[in-house]
């Protein structure tokens, strides 16, 4: 009986661990690259998601930020939106 309880606790711990890993994956930063000066910047995914949702532009266009260095356009190197659209920066 005691042994069974231990097992359940361990399973619970694994479940918790998996949950944390999933959350980390969700909050992984998205690397943006400036199309003009080439500088790269990591932006938390949840911030990009919110930006993407409120961006009323064409959904085939990735969310964009303006570069703090040169004022150019920054696009994500790779980003999957909440709608499931994956954007990849073409080199």
Site for Zn ion in 2-31 (CB under 5 A): none
61 contacts Zn ion (rule: CB under 5 A):
no
Residue in 6, 20, 61, 69 binding Zn ion, rule: CB under 5 A: 69
In SS3 terms, 30-55 reads as EEEEECCCCCEEEECHHHHHHHHHHC
Of the candidates 61, 57, 62, 54, the residue with the CA atom closest to the CA atom of residue 79: 62
Residue in 32, 33, 34, 62 binding Zn ion, rule: CB under 5 A: 34
Residue in 16, 21, 36, 82 binding Zn ion, rule: CB under 5 A: 36
């Amino acid at each position: 009986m005691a042994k069974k309880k231990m097992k359940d606790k361990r399973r619970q711990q694994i479940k918790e661990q998996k949950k944390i890993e999933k959350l980390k994956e969700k909050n992984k930063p998205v690397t943006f690259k400036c199309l003009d000066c080439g500088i790269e910047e990591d932006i938390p995914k949840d911030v990009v998601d919110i930006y993407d949702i409120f961006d009323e532009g064409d959904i085939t266009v990735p969310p964009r930020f303006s570069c703090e260095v040169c004022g150019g356009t920054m696009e994500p190197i790779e980003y999957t939106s909440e709608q499931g659209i994956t954007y990849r920066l073409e080199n």
